[in-house]
Amino acid sequence: MTAPRTGPRPLPLLIATQILTALSSIGALPLWRSGSLSLSPKLWDAAARLVRDVEKTNPEDFVAAVHAEAIRRLDSFADGVARYQKAPANARPPEPPTIWHRRSARLLDYGAVVEGAANAPAVLCVPSLINRGHILDLIEGRSLMRTIARRGLRPLLLDWGTPDEAERTFTLSDYIDGHLGDALDHVRAETGRSPALLGYCMGGNLALGLAARRPGEVGPLALLATPWDFHAGHGPARAALNAMRPSLEIMIAAQGMLPVDVLQALFNGLNPNLAGSKFRDLATVSATSRKFANFVALEDWLNDGVPLAGPVARECLFDWYGKNTPGRGAWAINGTVVDPTKLDQPALVVVPTDDYIVPPDSALPLVDALPNATLRTVKAGHIGMIAGGQSATLLHRPLADWIAGQLI
């Protein structure tokens, strides 16, 4: 029998957020009734409409309704979490063979899972260092890797693994010039040509770093939800990060890495209401439905993140987000500035319009910076674009066809 899950992570923070939301709603009632509740200007019109509606009701009934709704939401959230924790694990698609490895990193050959793809043009696929790369092959029928293979290409997924003791000292330069560069060497030696390079989220930044370090050795670029201007769309989060820096520095120094739960807490801060709404929704979904199974698969992936090597965490949090080094042209890999304006291969920049993790304004500057860039916007979120119900139509097939058009 499978042990119940301990997630979603970090569970204490998520529970506290739900309780504080309920209590703050109840606590705001006296201020609301006295007209002294301070609201964001963005809420003024909605608040005015609500005032008119409330004036038509009995005040005591309104207070009772707020209390009842707060309790209902807490109960529903708890029910959704419990159902997730007890849900059976989903069987993931079978893993393809490993054709190269270095320390924790492996290169998975998806050309082996589709007949005829083993000798097709290669696509080196680079996921983020934070979440595991199998988001690109999470659910049968929603697998970007398998779709690319079925469209006449050979996708090779770089699985970073969990940093070992030595990798906990790695910088971004170590990952790009080391593991990623070695994987590129292996692909070029085996195939006799430069592969296309696909990067998702932070993996897109790593892909750009590799292209800058290895000019002429990398083919077309596909950059999916890749941030570049790190000061666009994250003002409040950036201010919070600056305030947290002393504590984060102490934690990184003590542990040599940034733990998964801290990373999850930082992401939760970008949209603190998301966990509550999605688990309340899960409480109403049939446990035998495909929707329930897909939720569990995606949530298991989210809760199976890996810690970030200490030096990498410092670079990402304090240089990328803190100083906006990529957007200012100040990010360098072993002395080489990563300058998109000097990368002249064809590039596809995919921007999900509903992305709160990488806001569109953060990714769009790459379209102007890359000399031969094509923009594709997708009506989806950061993860829904990759593994959502419409991902094959919105992204997988058009992306594979664009890459094939550049290589074949």
Residue 204 is part of a domain; what is its CATH number? 3.40.50.1820
| 3-state SS record for 69-122 | HHHHHHHHHHHHHHHHHHCCCCCCCCCCCEEEEECCEEEEEHHHCCCCCCCCCE
Backbone angles phi, psi at 303, to 5 degrees: -90, 5
Co-location of 34 and 139 in the same domain: no
The CA distance from 118 to 31, in Å, is 66
> Does pLDDT of 111 surpass 50?
yes
β-strand pairing of 257-258 with 196-200: unpaired
Is there a domain that residue 270 lies in?
Answer: no
| 3-state SS record for 150-206 | HCCCEEEEEECCCCCCCHHHCCHHHHHHHHHHHHHHHHHHHHCCCCEEEEECHHHHH
Co-location of 111 and 185 in the same domain: yes
Is there a domain that residue 295 lies in?
Answer: no
> Does pLDDT of 203 surpass 90?
yes
Co-location of 327 and 186 in the same domain: yes
Co-location of 369 and 392 in the same domain: yes
Co-location of 116 and 213 in the same domain: yes
User: Is residue 10 reached through a cis peptide bond, with omega within 30 degrees of 0 on the bond before it?
Assistant: yes
For the full predicted model, state whether its pTM sits above 0.85.
Answer: yes
Count of Cβ atoms closer than 10 Å to residue 38 Cβ: 6
How many domains would you assign to the chain?
2
Co-location of 205 and 57 in the same domain: no
The CA distance from 376 to 395, in Å, is 9
Co-location of 389 and 319 in the same domain: yes
Co-location of 80 and 223 in the same domain: no
Co-location of 337 and 363 in the same domain: yes
Structure tokens at 388: 């959502």
Q: Look at residues 118, 151, 145 and name the one whose alpha carbon lies nearest to residue 405.
A: 151
More confident site: 234 or 69: 69
The CA distance from 182 to 242, in Å, is 35
Co-location of 103 and 52 in the same domain: no
> Does pLDDT of 128 surpass 70?
yes
The CA distance from 337 to 306, in Å, is 28
Co-location of 194 and 331 in the same domain: yes
- The burial of 6, by beta-carbon neighbours within 10 Å (0-12 exposed, 13-18 middle, 19 or more buried), is given as exposed
More confident site: 236 or 10: 10
pLDDT at 1 (0 to 100): 44
Q: Which domain holds residue 162?
A: 98-232+307-407
Co-location of 133 and 65 in the same domain: no
